[in-house]
Amino acid sequence: METLHGTVNGTLFRNEENGYSVISLRVDGDLQTAVGVLPELSDGEILHLEGEWMQHAQYGRQFKAMGFRVERPTTLDAIEHYLGSGLIRGVGPSTAKLIVEAFGQDTLEVLTAHPERLKDVPKIGKKRMAQIHESFLAQQQSRSTFLFLQRYGVTPALSNKINKLYREHAERFISENPYRLIDDIDGVGFLTADRIARSLGITQDSAFRLRAGIKHVLVEAAGSGGHTYLPEKELVSRASSLLQVGENLLLPQ
């Protein structure tokens, strides 16, 4: 797999439904185009991508991203560009300039942990301060969720769906019971949820896993054979085979 890293120079296109984005990256002074399912990005952020180069019939050479890592901007110009890109509600280019002039290299730390200090910036009152802080944290949460899910093999497209549905609860919900994805998100079946669960270290005999496996067998039987039920012996046998656990774990205690 190839890599590409550079500074975000602009988002050329973004589908808000599925997160598919076309972005411009400045790499060693040159502009490159990257495409893929990504979180919302701000100009000035440093982006590390994994994927492959491809030749688009209409748009030419593009980097197809399959994985990513984002770093916060570090220079004052990059921080100002990042804040003023329009991604954070209540902050435009002029306000971004005032904030960076006030806090310098501590700007992002102030926004994260000491938002009350924003009241020291001209034209920022209590209401606007809260709006800026809330919007900034929402962006950080979204980024954190994408990276968390990526570690466990969740595709960017599915990560986008999970993030939109669960928002700030995503990491906790998935860590506790990834099998809830089967009921909550269209297109997620038992095998996908089980792969995520095993990556998270959820045990083979987890009650969440056993229940999800039994339900999967029943749904499959209904879909393929039109069954409205299965005899207990057959259900337990099929579920045991799917889950690779002893039948005793699936019988009523």
The pLDDT value given to residue 73? 85
Of 23, 48, 71, which marks where a domain is finished?
Answer: 71
CATH at 230? 1.10.10
Q: Is residue 172 part of a domain?
A: no
CATH at 29? 2.40.50.140
Amino acid identity, position 47? L
My answer on whether 24 and 61 are in the same domain is yes
Pull the structure tokens for residue 79: 């921080």
Give dist(CA 214, CA 97) in Å, integer: 57
My answer on whether 9 and 46 are in the same domain is yes
My answer on whether 51 and 11 are in the same domain is yes
Give dist(CA 231, CA 15) in Å, integer: 46
My answer on whether 181 and 253 are in the same domain is yes
Of 56, 71, 86, which marks where a domain is finished?
Answer: 71
My answer on whether 107 and 132 are in the same domain is yes
Q: Is residue 245 part of a domain?
A: yes
Q: Is residue 183 part of a domain?
A: yes
Q: 230-251: per-residue pLDDT in tens? A: 899 999 999 999 999 999 999 8
Give dist(CA 162, CA 157) in Å, integer: 9
Q: Is residue 162 part of a domain?
A: no
Residues in the chain, how many? 253
- Output the CA angle 65-73-116, nearest 5 degrees: 125
Whole-Å CA distances, 126 to 102, 118, 210: 17, 9, 50
The pLDDT value given to residue 183? 95
Of 50, 71, 92, which marks where a domain is finished?
Answer: 71
What confidence category does residue 102 fall into, taking pLDDT thresholds of 50, 70 and 90?
very high
Q: Is residue 239 part of a domain?
A: yes
Q: Is residue 171 part of a domain?
A: no
The pLDDT value given to residue 152? 85
Whole domain around residue 190: which residue ranges? 177-253
The pLDDT value given to residue 111? 94
- Its sign, for the CA torsion 165, 169, 174, 177, is negative
My answer on whether 89 and 129 are in the same domain is yes
Q: Is the pLDDT of residue 150 over 90?
A: no
Q: Is residue 158 part of a domain?
A: no
Q: Is the pLDDT of residue 78 over 80?
A: yes
Strand 30-37 versus strand 60-71 pairing type: parallel
Q: 104-113: per-residue pLDDT in tens? A: 999 999 999 9
My answer on whether 61 and 129 are in the same domain is no
My answer on whether 62 and 89 are in the same domain is no
The pLDDT value given to residue 21? 94
Place of tokens 């994408």: 146
Q: Got the DSSP string for 180-206?
A: HHHHHSTT--HHHHHHHHHHHT--TT-
- Under a CB-based contact definition with an 8 Å cutoff, are residues 127 and 135 in contact? no
Between 252 and 123, the higher pLDDT residue? 123
Q: Is residue 154 part of a domain?
A: no
CATH at 126? 1.10.150
Looking at the structure of the chain, the number of domains it has is 3
Q: Is 36 left (phi over 0), alpha (psi -120 to 50) or beta?
A: left
CB under 8 Å, gap of 24 or more: what pairs does 186-192 form? 187/158, 188/158, 189/216, 190/215, 190/216, 190/242, 192/158
Q: 157-202: per-residue pLDDT in tens? A: 888 899 889 988 999 999 999 999 999 999 899 999 999 999 999 9
- Under a CB-based contact definition with an 8 Å cutoff, are residues 157 and 35 in contact? no
My answer on whether 210 and 224 are in the same domain is yes
Amino acid identity, position 108? L
Which residues are CB-neighbours of 107 under 8 A, at least 6 positions away? 79, 83, 99, 100
The pLDDT value given to residue 217? 95
- Under a CB-based contact definition with an 8 Å cutoff, are residues 51 and 63 in contact? yes
Strand 2-14 versus strand 30-37 pairing type: unpaired
My answer on whether 134 and 199 are in the same domain is no
My answer on whether 196 and 252 are in the same domain is yes
My answer on whether 181 and 251 are in the same domain is yes
The pLDDT value given to residue 11? 92
